[in-house]
Amino acid sequence: MAKTIQRKRRAVETKSRERAGEAREDRDRREPREGLVPTRPMIAVPRGIRHVALIVDTAVAPRRAMLRGVAQYIQEHEPWAVYLKPVGVEKALREWLVHWQGDGIIAAVHEPEEAPLKERGLPIVDVAGALHLPGVPLVHANDASIGRVGAEHLLERGFTDLLFYSHAYDTHATRRRLEGFQSAVERAGARFHRLIWDDRPRSERGQPRLPWLASKLSALPLPLAVMALNDHVAIEVLEACETAQLRVPERVAVLGVDNDQLVTNLTSVPVSSVDSSRERIGYEAAALLDRLIDGQPKPREPILIPPAGVVTRTSTDILAVPDADVAIAIRYIWAHACEPISVNDVAAETSLSRRRMQDLFLRHVGHTISDEIRRRRVDHAKRLLAETQTKVGLIANQSGFGSAERMSKVFKQVVGLTPHAYRERYRHDEAGQAAGAH
């Protein structure tokens, strides 16, 4: 009996020592002691799903575009468990953030309560420029570049008087966009104008904004090009032009920012807009947060994303000329060049005779009405030749030439190549650029 008890006791002690040894080995694998090297290779453990909070005001279109960029990053990489806090979230951070168990935060709010964010100590990426916590990296639109690109777009259309309009000047976006716009305008030798609603003199404070803006626009030199802070402010400029009976784009060209298509295409005159690359901002913010969660160092400087260019719509689709009838004629040609129009059709759109219209057009534009029609048709054909596989005969009809023979003759006069030769050269150049990129 005694021997049986002793055998059981030894068996228990042996099993205890084995378990202790296994525990030490497991601990050593996870936390190797200083000076020791694990005797077996470390096995890579798949990364768990990351829990990320998106503190975003989803009522604002640019923020929704930013979310699409975040979604694209998630789809291309390992999945996240996303906790989305939408409208009004900045006023209730403490209520949910204290108990939220997550890995990181992307913040796109303008008036956040910063203390809860600081207390949690989680990796944070700011995409609105409103956080003032030390060490929080910023991924943001390059507002100075937005202003510069907008100015260059309007300068290319021949405007010599360019206005920047905003409601306020106390935001980072307004200051930087205005600075970029002003610098580009003055560098080109054009005249810069500035109009800020909040900066109006005390004597004008009782006046409603729309009639105030209409009177200010009427007092400026025409033709005038206006860059608004964003698309919503650009719509306000359109309304003021209508109040002042200023035709858009013939007398006033209007440019917005953010390319919010619901807004830009809502009006009778669709609004051109600078594409501020909001989706790319979201994508880069998500990529940065992923790196921060992995323990990689924070960037020393803000990551500023340049604009993707200007999406041209009717509000700036014009060549600036001081004569109103010539501006109307240009606008008509640009809209109908691919149709079977003639000089008589163009003159009929104005209040002038054919001869008078011809003289004014040549004086202000530097070539004839027929030349302008031909140039627009060639430009349309060049785009189709470069971007599509459409047959030349069909392109000739779609571009207003009527026949492939007529298009070939005009194309060679203007471009110096036949349509077929132009298409082959374009493809050769594209192939060379692609090879050089690799």
Give the confidence band of 88 by pLDDT, cuts at 50, 70, 90.
low
Q: Is the pLDDT of residue 303 over 60?
A: yes
Mean pLDDT of 254-282: 93
Q: Which of 140, 142, 108 has its CA nearest to residue 124?
A: 108
Q: How far apart are CA 385 and CA 325, in angstroms?
A: 33
Q: Is the pLDDT of residue 29 over 70?
A: no
Residue 279 near residue 66 (C-beta atoms within 8 A): yes
Query: Which of 45-54, 152-161, 264-273, 281-290 has the least mean pLDDT?
Result: 45-54
Here the tokens at position 282 are 């979201």
Q: Is the pLDDT of residue 30 over 60?
A: no
The CATH classification number of 50-141+281-305 equals 3.40.50.2300
Here the tokens at position 371 are 């030349």
Q: Which of 324, 362, 318 has its CA nearest to residue 343?
A: 362
pLDDT value of position 83:
84
β-strand pairing of 272-275 with 309-311? antiparallel
Average pLDDT for the chain: 84
Give the confidence band of 437 by pLDDT, cuts at 50, 70, 90.
very low
pLDDT value of position 107:
87
Q: Which of 45, 58, 49 has its CA nearest to residue 104?
A: 49
Here the tokens at position 241 are 């032009």
Distant-in-sequence, close-in-space partners of 401: CB < 8 Å, separation ≥ 6:
377, 381, 407, 410
Residue 275 near residue 257 (C-beta atoms within 8 A): no
Q: How far apart are CA 35 and CA 28, in angstroms?
A: 12
Kindly tell me the sign of the dihedral angle through the C-alpha atoms of 66, 68, 74, 76: negative
Q: Is the pLDDT of residue 7 over 70?
A: no
Distances 424 to 214, 379, 389 between C-alpha atoms, Å: 51, 17, 12
Q: How far apart are CA 307 and CA 99, in angstroms?
A: 38
Q: Is the pLDDT of residue 225 over 90?
A: yes
Q: Is the pLDDT of residue 16 over 70?
A: no
The CATH classification number of 324-437 equals 1.10.10.60
pLDDT digits (tens, 9 = 90+) for 123-142: 999 998 877 778 889 999 99
Mean pLDDT of 356-382: 91
The residue among 433 and 236 whose pLDDT is bigger is 236
CATH number of this structure's domain 143-275+309-316, picked from the four choices 3.40.50.2300, 3.40.50.300, 3.30.360.10, 3.40.630.10 = 3.40.50.2300
SS (H, E, C) the chain: CHHHHHHHHHHHHHHHHHHHHHHHHHHHHHCCCCCCCCCCCCCCCCCCCEEEEEEECCCCHHHHHHHHHHHHHHHHCCCEEEEEECCCHHHCHHHHHCCCCCCEEEEECCCCCHHHHHHHCCCEEECCCCCCCCCCCEEEECHHHHHHHHHHHHHHCCCCEEEEEECCCCCHHHHHHHHHHHHHHHHCCCEEEEEEHHHCCHHHCCCCHHHHHHHHHHHCCCCEEEEECCHHHHHHHHHHHHHCCCCCCCCEEEEEECCCHHHHCCCCCCCEEEECCHHHHHHHHHHHHHHHHCCCCCCCCCEEECCCEEECCHHHCCCCCCCHHHHHHHHHHHHHCCCCCCHHHHHHCCCCCHHHHHHHHHHHHCCCHHHHHHHHHHHHHHHHHHHCCCCHHHHHHHCCCCCHHHHHHHHHHHHCCCHHHHHHHHHHHHHHHHHHHC
Residue 128 near residue 109 (C-beta atoms within 8 A): yes
Give the confidence band of 12 by pLDDT, cuts at 50, 70, 90.
very low
Question: How many Cα atoms are found within 13 Å in the side-chain-facing hemisphere of 183?
Answer: 13
Q: Is the pLDDT of residue 31 over 50?
A: no
pLDDT digits (tens, 9 = 90+) for 51-87: 998 888 777 788 889 999 999 999 999 889 988 876 5
Q: How far apart are CA 138 and CA 235, in angstroms?
A: 30
